[in-house]
Each structure stands twice: as structure tokens, then as C-alpha cells.
């Protein structure tokens, strides 16, 4: 793919190239430096987009339009992606092509609803990598790299992309398909959970006090950086930088300067500084002199004096300092701060639109501040502001660490020249691993040294993640529609129905579920107040329906389920055959039906009905939809509807919180199975339940989409609808199932045996009912032991 094709803009599309004449380009080509939504507002400037693409290049690029809309949805303030998308799809829906952007708009709303922390700094890159990994219609990594090379050489070729062309249906379809991610990310929380595969957030313990790093602990600190995957690249460079660093690391106050002669002899000091004549004494005399502080040492005792020197490090976080240069900048800063011979006070600032003080004394600090990224091209204003406003009673020595291209910028050059008397060291980095140190002395800049770091060698063996490995490139393991135990009934429901004595639920995930209340009771009074609820089975999934309005359910002569929907706001009545997907609708604006009418089922027909109102609107079940006005109401309709509403009301408050985001499946130090931060354990006799895991996970399962595989080959298959399947590598252990809900007691079941609450027991089953304890020791415990024995 050529540069022109990837960045091509189109007529009547939801984005376009524009030129902001007040903002100079970053590459000498100043036209077409802005991308905006027509008639709405700006999305981003071109340099920002290019830097985003540079970060995404290793995994390939999504279609350009899809990337722009996701970036637009990340912005704060007023944004309008729904209007332009609907307008574009309407214009392009011609002939046999019918486009609808509602799914994509629903997904972009989830991006918009994400907490700001997940859309800022480096987290923004992680979010984009998470969303578009293994997505539709990606541009390969190799092609993306080639396009970037052409752009840097000939950015003026964008003029051809800015010339709008007519887009075919395939162009719009590519962008829409790449944004249709609702199945992978059904909720905003599922996006956050998926991001944590890249960014594990450590839990903070209360009242934990950590000492600041000292010279004695610097080696441990560097080792911690190397062992942490998120800081490995920074940590692995520090010792190599130390080995070549030639700048002065310690400035002594006048009282500490060695003078020589008799004044340098003291009766306190280190053994390696003891006078050789002391070792000529007898052993007893020698030990006595040492114990009584009578032995003589070289270098006199120094009275405590305040060190009047302070070091300040300024790190450039502008666009050009992203990626490898940023890693080199932080590694250089830590190398100066944590050098074994460095004893001066040191403060660090991240320069972007302003100077932000940061700390690099703990691993968590380094992880957090590596995310400091500013959207500006150069930091001359922040650098100037620092030198004007910084006030200190001590002498300061300032380091400025930036990308080598930035010092060629006229504004940056001017600020550096004006403050060269206070800017002691200038450090430049490059993407190839080169660090150059310059020193300002008597108004002139002198090159001190160049350190060339072998990045491929130093970064060849990154540490393994402490969490489970995640592979999103594999094929998703297929799941059955139902299991030998019932699903937990979801909390969020669109509608509930009673049809011919059976209960049905239309869930918020657009599934038709069947459930029931137990009729196996002895005390009717007890049953009315404490109903024996049950889980549900899935009849249909991915039902094409909008979750608004009123609903009714029935069956036609072929015993197909017919879902009828009335949307008062649109004055629209529709029918959907759930078995055949046949759909028909009718606009009833002319009938002037009040919005207060409800949709009900009675006597082989649907009705729009209002209590005590004699006017009815009858809707047929068979064939295409038709609406008939009836002036006289059958009294049986009122009576039947009242009974149905009373029965359906029994389903209220029946839902359970379903765990639909699975991660970190493993075995903890208590030898219990853990998933999604929860431990499966027995709290009461003969029961299983979940509670928050508080123990270290010692064996992790590797994730391949919805399958988690342990080192011995045992598998756990996760179903976001609320079920876990266990397949042991020991073929003597049958496959078994467990519901995934964070509330109440759990069930264990196979196709022939069942244990646990009656809630999960299917209505018609031939399974043998056993105790939870029996099933635990026959299935779950051997499943865990098989994994532990393999590790041993």
C-alpha cells in the first residue's frame, strides 16, 4: 500500500484533511497539517497522528478512518462522532449496499466513557494497541514501516491524499468493521480489563513506609528495574551508561578537600585507610588500639558541613522524544541520580507544556513517569519558564536531556544559548541508541563524550511477565450454547415475559433466556415471599433489536418465537422471527396511539393496551405485520394481563452479578484455583464460593483468547456469559463445569452428575445429584493436584 492510499480522504466522509496556517509543519511541509470532522471540529494535528502511527507500527495499523474516530472519542469536552458517522453511512447506503453505524457509535461511546487515566499519556498507546490488535483490515507492520519512511522523505505527497475522491462501499465497510468491537469489548470495564494485559496495576497496601533509595541500595533498585517488564528497557541500560560516564559525580564542600600531611591523620576511619605501622603491633596491642580508637588512619575526620550544591535534571517529553529516545532519557537521568559516587541533591522535572516535578526513586515512580508524554513539538517555552521562575539558595547544576533533533530547533537553541551559564550539561539521545554529553564552560559548548548502546543486545532477553501470558492472535475456542448446568440469570434485563406458563427474559446482551421458578414447594406462604429461583438457559443470541420501548413474546404456528416491539418515540411497531430472522415493521403515526399504551400478548395476537381504555390495537402474529384498531375490549384481556404481570413480577431482583471478564487464572500459594482476582474456596461446610484472592499466584495459565492453558496441558475455557469449563490433562478426570458468579454458592457438574444449589439444576435433567464435597474431591481437587504435580 502506498502512502497516498492509506491517508486518502473521501467526498462526504466523516473526516478530512485541513490546513492550519498558524501552525508550522514539523517536516517543512506546512499544508494539510490538521485532520478534522467536517462541520464539527479538529481531531488532531498531523505530527501527533504520525507519532501515534509510529508507536503502533510494530503491530500494524488499523484503517485510518477507524483510528481517527477512536482518537476523536478519546478527547475531552464536546465531541460529536454520532452525527458525522450517521450522515456518511446514509449517503453511502445506495443500491444493494445498506450501512448502519449504530454498533460503531455504541462502541465509541464506551471509549468516551473510559476514565481519563486510561486515555492519557502512554496509556493512550496501550489502549490503541489493545483495541486494534488482531483487528480487521490491518496494514501489516512491514507496510506501515515503509509508509513511514516515504512520509519522512517526501511529506509533500500528502497533497494527493488530501484531494478527496469518491469512496466505494468497501472503503466505508473497512472503517466500520474495524470499529465494530462490541463483541470483543461488551462493556467499558472489559476494555480496562483487556488493557491490564499490558498494564498491570499493583495493589497498594495501607500504611507501608518505604525508605528513599540510597547509594547502598542503588544496585538493588537497578535490579528491580530490570526484573520489572515495564521498566526492563530503562534498567538494562543504566549500568552500561555508568561504565562510560565521565561527568563529575560528586562536588565536595571546602572542608572535605584532602590537604595532605599530618593533618590528614585521624583516629577514626575505615580499615583499608589504617596506617601500615599499626599492623606491626602485637595482636593484643593492635586490637586494644582499635577498640579504644587509638589506631591511626589516613584522612582526617571531617566535621559535618552542608553541601551547597544541587543538581536538577530536565527531561524533554515532547513528541520527538517518544519511544526509544524517551527510554534513553530516563535511563540517563537515573544513571546520574543513582550513580554510586553521586551524593548531591537531585530534582527531576518533566518538560512539556509546563515543567512537572517527578520522582524516580521507586520502580512505581519510574513506571508512572515513563507515561509522561506531551503533544507539543518542542519545549522551549517550558525550558524558558523554568530558568525564569526557578529560585534556589543553592548553586544549581542543570542537566537538559532531549532528542538530538530538538537542539536544531531555533527556539530551543535560543533558550539554551541565553541560559548557558546555568545549563551545565546538555544530553542528547537518538533512536539508534546513541547518547551524547555536552558541557557548557565559559560560554562555550564542549562535547565531552558519546556513548553508543547496543540496544538489541541489551534488550534481547526481557523478563517474563509475572502474570499469565496472553496471546490474542489465536482462534477463539468455540463455546456451546448451553451447558449441563444453568447460567446465572443476569442482573440487566430489557424485558421479562410469561408465555403459556413459562418465563422468558430478554437480556441486555440481546439474548432470549428461559428460566423458571421451582414448583417443588410445601408451604405456599413461604413460596410467595421466598421464591425458589433458578438460573437460565439460552435460546437465542445476538438478537438484532434496539433496547428501547415495549416488548411482547409469543410463538407462531410453526412454533417459532416471535418478538414484537413498540417504540413510542418513533411510533414504530415491528416483529422479528427469532428462528428465521424475518423482520417486518409498520409506522403507526397516523393512529395517534398514546405513549402510555403497553404491548401485551393475548389469545394468539399482540395488543397495544391501556388499562380501562376500551380502544385496542391488534397486531397479528402470522405473516407480515399489520395493525387493526378495535373499539370494544374483551374483559378477559384485562384479567389475563393482570395475572401475567403478577407472575412476571416474581422475577424481579432475581439477577446475579456475572463475571464476564477473565484474567490471571492460576493456582495460588494455598493451592486453590484463582481467576479474575477471586479464589475458589470452601467457606462453609459442603459448599464452594468465591472471595477476593489475597495470596500470591505461583502457577499461571497462559491465555489464548478465551482458553487458559496450564504448563501440564490442563485447560480452563472461559465463557463471558458466566461459565467455566475444566479439561484436565489427566484423561481420568471428566470434563466438568462451574458457574462464574461473584455472589452465592457455586455448583460443580458434569453431564451425568450435579452438586450445589438447586438454582443451577436444569428443570428436566437425568443427572445424579451429589454433595459438593464429593464432587470437589473427585473433580476440582484432582484437577489442581495434576497441575501441582507437574510443576514438582
Q: Where are the beta strands (DSSP E) in 92-138?
A: none
Please name the residues in contact with 250: beta carbons below 8 A apart, sequence gap of 6 or more: 341, 342, 343, 344
- What is the reported pLDDT for 465? 47
Q: Are residues 519 and 636 in the same domain?
A: yes
* Rounded percentage of the chain residues whose pLDDT exceeds 70: 86
In a domain, 465, yes or no: no
Question: Per mean pLDDT, which range of 21-35, 221-235, 309-323, 588-602 is the poorest?
Answer: 21-35
Q: Are residues 336 and 362 in the same domain?
A: yes
Overall average pLDDT of the 224-230 stretch: 81
Picking from 458, 483, 504, the residue at the C-terminal end of a domain is 458
In a domain, 190, yes or no: yes
- What is the reported pLDDT for 755? 92
Among the listed residues 439, 423, 360, 413, the one whose alpha carbon sits nearest the alpha carbon of residue 390: 423
| Residue 51 pLDDT grade (very low, low, confident, very high; cuts 50, 70, 90) | confident
Number of neighbours of residue 364 by Cβ within 10 angstroms: 15
The 3-state secondary structure of 705-767 reads CCEEECCCCCEEEEECCCEEEEECCCCCCCCEEEECECCCCCCEECCCEEECCHHHCCCCCCC
**Exposure of 458 by Cβ count < 10 A (0-12 exposed, 13-18 middle, 19+ buried)?**
middle
Q: Are residues 343 and 318 in the same domain?
A: yes
Alpha-carbon torsion (277, 281, 283, 284), positive or negative: negative
- For the stretch 617-629, pLDDT in tens is 999 999 889 999 8
- What is the reported pLDDT for 12? 84
345 pLDDT higher than 80: no
Overall average pLDDT of the 501-512 stretch: 92
Picking from 458, 478, 501, the residue at the C-terminal end of a domain is 458
249 pLDDT higher than 70: no
Among the listed residues 539, 560, 561, the one whose alpha carbon sits nearest the alpha carbon of residue 551: 561
Overall average pLDDT of the 48-68 stretch: 87
Spatial distance between the Cα atoms of 130 and 124, rounded to a whole number of angstroms: 10
Q: Compute the mean pLDDT over every residue in the chain, rounded to the nearest whole number.
A: 81
Strand partners, 599: 608
| Residue 718 pLDDT grade (very low, low, confident, very high; cuts 50, 70, 90) | very high
Picking from 298, 326, 357, the residue at the C-terminal end of a domain is 298
Q: Are residues 329 and 437 in the same domain?
A: yes
- What is the reported pLDDT for 764? 82
Among the listed residues 413, 466, 452, the one whose alpha carbon sits nearest the alpha carbon of residue 663: 466
Q: Are residues 243 and 285 in the same domain?
A: no
Range of the domain at 267: 256-298
- What is the reported pLDDT for 8? 87
| Residue 214 pLDDT grade (very low, low, confident, very high; cuts 50, 70, 90) | very low
Phi, psi (deg, nearest 5) at residue 86: -65, -40
Question: Per mean pLDDT, which range of 182-191, 205-214, 700-709 is the poorest?
Answer: 205-214
Please name the residues in contact with 274: beta carbons below 8 A apart, sequence gap of 6 or more: 295, 296, 297, 298
- What is the reported pLDDT for 513? 94
In a domain, 208, yes or no: no
**Between 365 and 578, where is the model more confident?**
578
Query: What's the gap between Cα 100 and its chain centre?
Result: 27
C-alpha cell at 561: 418465537
- What is the reported pLDDT for 511? 94
200 pLDDT higher than 70: no
- For the stretch 70-129, pLDDT in tens is 888 888 776 888 888 888 888 877 655 677 888 888 888 888 888 888 887 777 888 888
Q: Are residues 431 and 519 in the same domain?
A: no
> In angstroms, what is the C-alpha Rg of the chain?
35
Overall average pLDDT of the 693-718 stretch: 90
In a domain, 334, yes or no: yes
Phi, psi (deg, nearest 5) at residue 354: -150, 175
Overall average pLDDT of the 724-746 stretch: 88
In a domain, 467, yes or no: no
Q: Are residues 121 and 233 in the same domain?
A: no
- What is the reported pLDDT for 667? 93
Structural domains in the chain (count): 5
- What is the reported pLDDT for 203? 33
Question: Per mean pLDDT, which range of 248-252, 712-716, 781-785 is the poorest?
Answer: 248-252
In a domain, 207, yes or no: no
Please name the residues in contact with 508: beta carbons below 8 A apart, sequence gap of 6 or more: 490, 492, 493, 494, 547
* C-alpha torsion 210→211→213→215, nearest 10: -150
Spatial distance between the Cα atoms of 739 and 114, rounded to a whole number of angstroms: 28
- What is the reported pLDDT for 634? 74
Q: Are residues 17 and 150 in the same domain?
A: yes
* Rounded percentage of the chain residues whose pLDDT exceeds 90: 20
Overall average pLDDT of the 766-784 stretch: 91
In a domain, 471, yes or no: no
Spatial distance between the Cα atoms of 25 and 14, rounded to a whole number of angstroms: 24
Q: Are residues 376 and 245 in the same domain?
A: yes
Local structure of 360: helix, strand or coil:
coil
- For the stretch 132-160, pLDDT in tens is 877 767 888 888 888 888 888 888 888 88
Place of cell 496494514: 139
Q: Are residues 501 and 642 in the same domain?
A: yes
DSSP state string for 189-249:
HHHHHHHTTT---PPPPTT---PPP-GGGHHHHHHHHHHSTTTHHHHHHHHHHHHH--S--
Overall average pLDDT of the 344-371 stretch: 83
Q: Are residues 326 and 280 in the same domain?
A: no
Question: Per mean pLDDT, which range of 117-131, 221-235, 244-258, 563-577 is the poorest?
Answer: 244-258
266 pLDDT higher than 80: no
Spatial distance between the Cα atoms of 428 and 410, rounded to a whole number of angstroms: 16
Q: Are residues 262 and 321 in the same domain?
A: no
Q: Where are the beta strands (DSSP E) in 527-594?
A: 536-540, 550-555, 561-567, 572-577, 583-587
C-alpha cell at 12: 462526504
| Residue 522 pLDDT grade (very low, low, confident, very high; cuts 50, 70, 90) | very low
- What is the reported pLDDT for 474? 58
Spatial distance between the Cα atoms of 667 and 711, rounded to a whole number of angstroms: 11
491 pLDDT higher than 80: yes
In a domain, 635, yes or no: yes
CATH of the domain at 325: 3.40.50
Number of neighbours of residue 288 by Cβ within 10 angstroms: 13
What separation in angstroms does the CA of 493 have from each of 608, 673, 756?
A: 21, 31, 25
- For the stretch 433-484, pLDDT in tens is 899 988 887 778 888 888 888 888 888 777 654 444 455 555 778 899 999 9
770 pLDDT higher than 70: yes
**Between 474 and 554, where is the model more confident?**
554
Check if the beta carbon of residue 15 is closer than 8 Å to that of residue 65: yes
Amino acid at each position: 500500500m502506498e502512502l497516498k492510499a492509506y491517508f486518502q480522504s473521501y467526498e462526504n466522509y466523516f473526516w478530512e484533511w485541513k490546513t492550519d496556517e498558524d501552525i508550522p509543519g514539523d517536516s517543512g511541509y506546512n499544508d494539510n497539517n490538521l485532520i478534522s470532522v467536517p462541520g464539527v471540529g479538529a481531531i488532531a494535528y498531523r505530527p501527533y497522528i504520525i507519532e501515534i502511527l509510529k508507536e503502533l507500527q510494530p503491530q500494524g495499523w488499523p484503517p485510518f478512518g477507524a483510528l481517527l474516530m477512536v482518537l476523536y472519542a478519546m478527547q475531552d469536552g464536546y465531541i460529536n462522532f454520532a452525527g458525522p458517522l450517521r450522515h456518511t453511512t446514509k449517503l453511502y447506503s445506495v443500491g444493494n449496499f445498506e450501512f448502519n453505524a449504530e454498533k460503531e457509535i455504541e462502541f465509541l461511546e464506551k471509549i468516551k466513557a473510559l476514565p481519563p487515566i486510561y486515555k492519557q499519556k502512554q496509556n493512550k498507546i496501550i489502549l490503541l494497541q489493545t483495541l486494534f490488535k488482531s483487528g480487521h483490515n490491518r496494514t501489516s507492520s512491514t507496510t506501515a514501516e515503509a509508509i513511514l519512511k516515504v512520509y519522512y522523505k517526501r511529506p509533500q505527497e500528502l497533497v494527493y491524499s488530501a484531494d478527496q475522491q469518491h469512496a466505494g462501499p468497501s472503503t466505508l465497510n473497512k472503517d466500520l468493521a474495524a470499529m465494530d468491537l462490541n463483541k470483543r469489548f461488551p462493556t467499558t470495564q472489559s476494555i480496562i480489563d483487556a488493557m491490564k494485559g499490558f498494564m498491570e496495576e499493583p495493589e497498594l497496601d495501607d500504611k507501608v513506609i518505604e525508605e528513599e533509595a540510597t547509594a547502598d541500595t542503588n544496585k538493588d533498585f537497578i535490579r528491580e528495574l530490570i526484573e520489572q517488564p515495564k521498566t526492563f528497557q530503562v534498567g538494562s541500560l543504566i549500568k552500561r551508561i555508568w561504565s562510560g560516564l565521565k561527568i563529575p559525580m560528586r562536588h565536595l564542600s571546602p572542608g572535605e578537600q584532602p590537604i595532605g600531611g599530618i593533618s590528614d591523620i585521624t583516629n577514626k576511619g575505615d580499615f583499608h585507610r589504617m596506617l601500615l605501622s599499626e599492623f606491626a603491633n602485637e595482636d593484643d596491642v593492635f586490637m586494644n588500639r582499635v577498640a579504644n580508637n587509638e589506631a591511626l588512619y589516613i584522612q582526617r575526620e571531617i566535621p559535618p558541613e552542608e553541601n551547597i550544591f544541587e543538581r536538577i535534571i530536565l527531561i524533554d517529553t515532547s513528541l520527538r522524544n517518544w519511544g526509544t529516545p524517551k527510554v534513553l532519557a530516563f535511563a540517563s537521568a537515573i544513571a546520574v541520580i543513582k550513580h554510586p559516587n553521586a551524593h548531591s541533591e537531585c530534582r527531576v522535572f518533566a518538560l512539556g507544556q509546563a515543567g512537572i516535578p517527578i520522582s524516580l526513586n521507586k520502580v512505581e515512580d519510574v513506571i508512572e513517569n515513563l507515561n509522561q508524554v506531551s503533544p507539543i513539538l518542542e519545549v522551549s517555552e517550558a525550558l524558558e519558564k523554568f530558568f525564569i521562575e526557578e529560585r534556589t539558595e543553592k548553586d544549581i547544576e542543570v542537566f537538559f536531556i532531549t532528542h538530538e533533533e530538538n537542539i536544531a530547533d531555533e527556539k530551543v537553541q535560543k533558550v539554551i544559548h541565553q541560559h548557558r551559564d546555568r545549563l551545565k550539561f546538555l544530553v542528547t539521545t537518538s533512536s539508534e541508541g546513541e547518547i551524547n554529553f555536552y558541557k557548557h564552560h565559559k560560554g562555550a559548548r564542549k562535547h565531552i563524550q558519546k556513548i553508543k548502546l547496543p540496544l538489541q543486545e541489551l534488550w534481547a532477553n526481557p523478563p517474563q511477565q509475572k502474570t499469565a501470558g496472553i496471546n490474542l492472535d489465536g482462534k477463539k475456542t468455540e463455546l456451546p450454547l448451553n451447558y449441563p448446568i444453568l447460567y446465572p440469570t443476569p442482573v440487566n434485563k430489557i424485558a421479562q415475559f410469561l408465555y403459556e406458563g413459562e418465563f422468558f427474559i430478554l437480556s441486555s446482551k440481546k439474548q432470549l433466556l428461559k428460566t423458571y421458578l421451582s414448583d417443588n414447594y410445601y408451604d405456599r406462604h413461604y413460596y410467595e415471599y421466598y421464591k425458589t429461583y433458578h438460573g437460565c438457559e439460552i435460546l437465542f443470541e445476538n438478537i438484532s433489536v434496539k433496547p428501547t420501548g415495549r416488548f411482547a413474546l409469543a410463538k407462531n404456528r410453526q412454533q417459532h418465537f416471535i418478538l414484537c416491539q413498540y417504540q413510542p418515540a418513533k411510533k414504530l411497531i415491528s416483529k422479528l422471527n427469532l428462528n428465521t430472522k424475518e423482520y417486518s415493521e409498520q409506522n403507526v403515526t397516523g393512529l395517534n396511539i398514546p405513549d402510555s399504551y403497553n404491548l401485551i400478548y393475548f389469545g394468539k395476537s399482540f395488543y397495544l393496551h391501556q388499562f380501562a381504555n376500551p380502544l385496542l390495537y391488534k397486531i397479528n402474529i402470522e405473516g407480515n405485520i399489520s395493525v387493526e384498531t378495535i373499539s370494544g375490549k374483551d374483559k378477559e384481556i384485562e384479567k389475563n394481563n393482570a395475572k401475567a404481570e403478577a407472575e412476571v413480577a416474581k422475577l424481579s431482583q432475581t439477577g446475579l452479578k456475572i463475571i464476564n471478564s477473565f484474567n490471571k487464572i492460576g493456582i495460588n500459594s494455598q493451592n486453590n484455583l484463582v481467576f479474575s482476582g477471586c479464589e475458589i474456596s470452601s467457606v462453609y461446610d459442603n459448599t464452594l464460593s468465591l472471595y477476593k484472592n489475597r495470596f500470591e499466584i505461583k502457577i499461571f495459565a497462559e491465555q489464548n483468547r478465551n482458553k487458559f492453558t496450564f504448563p501440564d496441558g490442563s485447560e480452563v475455557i472461559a465463557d463471558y456469559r458466566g461459565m467455566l469449563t475444566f479439561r484436565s490433562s489427566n484423561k481420568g478426570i471428566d470434563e466438568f463445569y462451574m458457574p462464574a458468579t461473584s455472589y452465592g454458592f457455586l455448583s460443580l457438574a458434569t453431564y451425568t452428575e450435579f452438586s450445589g444449589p438447586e438454582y443451577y439444576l436444569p428443570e428436566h435433567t437425568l443427572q445424579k445429584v451429589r454433595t459438593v464435597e464429593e464432587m470437589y474431591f473427585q473433580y476440582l481437587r484432582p484437577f489442581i493436584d495434576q497441575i501441582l504435580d507437574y510443576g514438582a
